[in-house]
Structure 1
Amino acid sequence: MARELEAGFEHVPIRSTIYRSGAEDPTTFTHDFDKLVASGNLGLMGPDPRLSEMPEKPTLIDFFKQRMCNTQHLMQSARLALNNGYGEKVAFACLVHDISVTSFISGDHGYWGRQLLEPYVDEEVAWAVEAHQYIRFYPDEEMGYEYPEAYIKYFGEDFVPEPYIREAYERARNHKWYRTGRYITMNDVYAFDPNVRKLEIEEFTDLIGRHFRQPDEGLGFDHSPSAHMWRTIMWPTRAL
């Protein structure tokens, strides 16, 4: 928080504990809000001035353009699914499968992604977004899915998923929408091509319009079970 104070912010942005945990031991540091109280400064309770201002009624496309990183991977994945003939529902699921990673949090991103999306998408899409997190670690010879060599590079040859991941996979294996989740994995790890032309989210406007129920009030303001998550992405440094 010291840098923000030195920068002369009228209202000081506050980092949540999880932002700092890992780089620092949370049991040993003082929360930014406590530092704020001690300093006598005012805390930020709205938009962070370092970020672009969101529209009054933000849409999914607005979040893609203003609050998400690495969106090329998502768009490449969706385009790959369309080119491979998997249909619009799978393509849309691919477009949002890593939405938690790109906008919110990486760990358990399938679960977080499902919660973000569930009020606005088909139930099958929400389920598949969660399921891709755990079924990606297990090959499926019948469907032509091998354990990705990239995962050996990313996680090491000795990596073994946690037991809860294995248990979730076993449950998913017999689920009626298993194939949809598997299709995401089949169009996922292969969608990191730096040589593909840069895609624009507007190219997927019609796909989003047909498969995402945009709330009239704007994402974050519709009082859905995940509205608070969208507000957190929009205003990530509010004091409370």
Structure 2
Amino acid sequence: MSAATVASIAGAATLSEKADALEDAMSVELDKRIATPWFCNIEPTPDPIPGDTRPYYMHNDPRLPVMPKAPTLIDFYKLRFAPANHVLQSARLAKINGYDEKIVMACLLHDICVGNLIRTDHGYWCAQMVKPYVDEEVSWAIEKHQALRFFPDVSVGYEYPDSYIRFFGDDYKPEAYIVQAHEEAKKHRWYMTSRLITLNDLYSFEEGVVVDIDDFTDIIGRNFKQPKEGLGFDGSPTAHMWRSMIWPNNFL
């Protein structure tokens, strides 16, 4: 991990934000080692494209693949999230371990906004983004994994991540809202669904493992309500989030 990356983690405002920054950095490092397509490394202020005199971009950015008019979730994985090795490995691990399809689906979706929309409080953002399209249990579990990752659970073999100790110190205490979310989640009937996201999250940074989103086509078909208008154009409460990933560099 580069010195600049470490500095960015250290500069995060709260310790929860530091944890988000660390997970993002780990995912980025994993994607680099797997081989990252060029379009995953867009600079916010790039060198001008030859022949293109526009100072700003609106809608299609020539540095990014054009999305279909009615994009599916798989289109986003291939054209915007790619290579997304961490979430793909997480879902693969859950599938290998024989967990329910809801858990596999939750693992597949739990971090998709991190590198494409927003990193801070990503559990809440990811949950909100997919809520119109998945079972309520899946979106709830994705939201609560944000808090559960800070608390061990020996019943499933989840330990507090060593990386958190290295980066945040052994005296780190989660913020009050994280503690409260954890306490509420422990009493909920879907607690284990969310807990298993953290278990399959922590151990899914395996170098050299390449997973294809097409391996999950059937699971997505059974567990994700794909709008016929396409994600971003169906008028859902979160359609704007998907459009923000289709056109991430719009000036307005």
Normalising by the residue count of structure 1, what TM-score does the alignment of the two structures yield?
Answer: 0.81
8 Å Cα contact 1:128/1:177 also seen in 2: yes
Residue 97 of structure 1 aligns to which amino acid in structure 2?
H
Of 151, 162, 165, which residue of structure 1 is paired with 2:178? 165
Moved beyond 4 Å, runs of 4+: 1-8
> Residues 57 and 219 of structure 1 are in contact (CA less than 8 Å); yes or no, is this contact kept in structure 2?
yes
Paired AA for residue 79 in structure 2? Q
| SS class of match (2:225) | coil
Per the TM alignment, residue 232 of structure 1 is displaced from its structure 2 partner at its CA by: 0.5
Determine the C-alpha separation between the residues in 2 that align with 1:226 and 1:52: 22
Unmatched segments (≥5 aa) in structure 2:
1-43
Paired residues for 1:51-90 under 5 Å: 51-69=64-82, 71-90=84-103
Summarize the Cα distance change of 1:68–1:160 in structure 2 as closer, same or farther, 3 Å threshold: same
Q: Identity of counterpart residues, as a percentage? A: 54
Structural RMSD (CA): 1.9
Gapped regions of structure 1 (runs ≥ 5): 14-43
Q: Distance in 1 between matches of 2:206 and 2:45?
A: 39
1:150 paired residue number: 163
Deviation at 1:89, TM superposition (A): 1.0
Secondary structure class of the residue paired with 1:118: helix
Asked if the contact 2:92–2:211 (Cα under 8 Å) also holds between the matched residues in 1, the reply is no
For the pair 1:117 / 2:130, whether they are aligned, the reply is yes
Equivalent residue, structure 2, for 1:202: 214
2:9 aligned with 1:9, yes or no?
no
Name the structure 1 match of 2:104. Answer: 91
Q: Which residue of structure 2 aligns with residue 224 of structure 1?
A: 236
Structure 2 residue matching 1:144: 3-state secondary structure: coil
Task: Indicate yes or no: 2:148 matched with 1:135.
Answer: yes
Separation (CA, whole Å) in 1 of partners of 2:156 and 2:63: 46
Larger Rg: 1
Match in the other structure for 2:247: 235
**SS of match in other structure, 1:237:** coil
CA distance in 2, matches of 1:68, 1:206: 19
Structure 2 letter corresponding to 1:235: W
3-state SS, counterpart of residue 143 of structure 1: coil
Q: Do 2:127 and 2:140's aligned partners in 1 also have CA atoms closer than 8 Å?
A: yes
Cα shift readout 1:118-167 (whole Å, capped 9, x = no counterpart): 00000000000010010110012233322122322343333322211111
Indicate if the aligned counterparts of 2:91 and 2:104 stay in contact, CA closer than 8 A: yes
- Deviation at 1:175? 1.1
- Kindly state the Cα deviation for residue 2 of structure 1 after the two structures are TM-superposed: 7.3
**TM-score relative to the length of structure 2:** 0.77
Provide the C-alpha distance between the structure 2 equivalents of 1:105 and 1:70, rounded to a whole number of angstroms. Answer: 17
Q: Structure 1 pair 10/90, CA: closer, same or farther in 2 (3 Å)?
A: same
Please give the secondary structure, in 2, of the residue aligned with 1:187: helix
Equivalent pairs, count: 209
Change (3 A) 1:207 1:2: closer
